[in-house]
Every structure is written in C-alpha cells, then in structure tokens.
Structure 1
Amino acid sequence: MTHRILFVCLGNICRSPAAEGVFRARLPHLAADSAGTSDWHVGQPPYGPMQQAARARGLDLGGLRARQFVAADFTRFDLILGMDASNLADIEALRPPGNETPVRLLTDFAPGSGADHVPDPYYTRDFDGALDLIEAAMDGLGAHLG
C-alpha cells in the first residue's frame, strides 16, 4: 500500500505545492511532499498568485518551501507524480539502477478530465484551472490509494 507521495513540477512553486496542499487536506493520514526538477526557486514559498487561488479554496500553502528533486527521493517515496511529460523525463533521468518506485503523471488519476498534463499556471496564469485539474486528480488518487 502506498503511503508516501511526492508531487513534482518544474520549479516547485505552483503545481506541485498546490497538489501537496490538496492531498494533505483530503488525505491527511498519508504523507506527502513536493519538489521541483529545477533549482530555480529552492527555499522560496509557493508563488503568490497560486497561494491566493489556493487560499480561496481553504488551502494554506504558505508554510511550504521549494526544494529540488533528488535521486534519494526514489527511496523516500512510494509513488512519485509529475505534472507533465517533461517532469517525468527529468525524474526518470535520476532514477537509481534497480529502483522500481512508480512514477506517473498526476493526470493519470483524472481520466475524465481529458487532460494529459497539468498546465503550468506560472505561464498560463490559469491558477484556478490548474487547481480544478489537481482536485479532480486527487479524487482519483484517493480512490486508487483506498
């Protein structure tokens, strides 16, 4: 049974901390974290507009801080969920030989959404749309985890 989930995006200031926040609110009995494939924002809180959009839904992301995904995350987590195909490729590039930790797209858990990735609201400016998709995926993830 999966107990430790890692959400990964590019900078760890929009999509992955939002996913971590939604996950923690909906499945507080399971462990979660988030990370970015880049080191651009290490130590920074989530992006202000994402925090505002999350706060409007009752989620406080203010205590989260960006960190970079590292190879050790493959052993620290039972399931790693990337936000897009580029994230998955960057994650897989760090996979230790012999490691079998599942790495999937978050949108795999939102089959009815028609989305094959979570668009980056840092660029699209659609913070609510990203949160809608993340929330839809959490419903499927929760069902998957039991």
Structure 2
Amino acid sequence: MTYRVCLVCMGNICRSPMAEVVLRQALADRGLAGRVTVESAGTGGWHEGDPMDERALRILSDHGYDGSAHRARRFTRDWFDRYDLVLAMDRDNLVTLRRLAPSGVEVRLFRSFDPAAPPDAEVPDPYYGGREGFEEVLALVESAAEGVAKHIADEVG
C-alpha cells in the first residue's frame, strides 16, 4: 500500500510545489520513492492548471531540483480520503483545511516536523517578493522535509 501526503498552500504555485519536489527527493534518498506519493495543492483555485511560479522553478533548478512537471490544483474536501497526511504551509491555510476536514482528520503545519523550528512555524509566502524570499522558502522547506521524511519512514516501517 502506498502512503500518500499532500502539501497545501494558497495558490499551489510557490511554497507547496517547492515542498513537494524537495520532500519527494528526501523520501527517495531514504529509499521510499516507490512507497510514498507526494502531491501538492492550493486552498484557492485561481492558478489551477498553471505551472509553478518561474522564480520558484529557478530556485529549485539552481539547487538541483526539477519542478517543471508541476501543474497547480485546488484542494477540495473529498480529497481528505485520498491522503494519509495533509500538511499546510501556514496558519491561514491550516485553518481553511481544518474547516474542510471531516471530523477526526488531523491537519498539521509542514514546519511542525522541523526540530529547529517552533511548533507553529510557517513557511512564508514569497509571491510578492524577490529571489531572497524564494531562497528562504527553499531553506525552510529543506529543513522541514527531513523531519517529514523521518516521520513518514517511521509510519511506513
């Protein structure tokens, strides 16, 4: 059985797709590529079908990752049945997801898995800024992805 995780931000063109690419690599590095599916989505639908933001793609590429296949999607209530783990990039999206979630479904912040971060730490939205914001997001995502990968490795055995 495949373990499935979905990473969620606002529009699914910056943070969550960057985290998707990085987490997928962290899991592959642990030998879990065939046992875990990593996807991403946004709580808003205005970018549906669009590729990742060019700045996010560039930062990922500059650091050896490939996000070129990404297309934005919108997370809907019925998706909770598809995933074992749903992680929000920030508190606003966490609140939105918790409102959508069926009773008993846990939704957590992505950075809550980063042992160096406080439990309520967010991945800031770099959309309205420059390159440095996307660099910061990548660093935060890489750090948290290791903790998420460890958690998933423990879950799948």
Which band: TM-score by shorter chain?
A: over 0.9
| Residue 146 (structure 2) aligns with | 139
Offset of 1:2 from its aligned partner?
A: 8.2
Deviations 1:78-117 (A, max 9, x none): 0000000100111112123x3x332100010113135710
Percentage identity across aligned positions? 42
| Residue 119 (structure 1) aligns with | 124
Q: Is contact 1:5–1:80 with CA below 8 Å preserved after alignment?
A: yes
Cα RMSD between the aligned structures?
A: 1.7
Identify which range, 120-129 or 58-67, moves more after superposition: 120-129
Distance in 1 separating the partners of 2:106 and 2:100: 13
Of residues 79, 91, 99 in structure 2, which corresponds to 1:93?
99
Q: Which amino acid aligns with 1:63?
A: A
Of residues 100, 107, 110 in structure 2, which corresponds to 1:106?
110
Of residues 85, 97, 101 in structure 2, which corresponds to 1:79?
85
Structure 2: stretches of 5+ with no match in the other structure: 28-32
SS in 1 for 2:116: helix
So what's the TM-score if we normalise by structure 2?
0.86
So what's the TM-score if we normalise by structure 1?
0.92
Q: Is contact 2:2–2:37 with CA below 8 Å preserved after alignment?
A: no
| Residue 8 (structure 1) aligns with | 8
Q: Is contact 2:12–2:41 with CA below 8 Å preserved after alignment?
A: yes
Distance in 2 separating the partners of 1:134 and 1:143: 14
Structure 1: stretches of 5+ with no match in the other structure: none
Which aligned segments of 4 or more residues in structure 1 are displaced greater than 4 angstroms? Answer: none
Deviations 1:15-47 (A, max 9, x none): 000011011112123101100000110000000
113 and 124 in structure 1: CA distance in 2 versus 1, 3 angstrom threshold: farther
Q: Is contact 1:41–1:67 with CA below 8 Å preserved after alignment?
A: yes
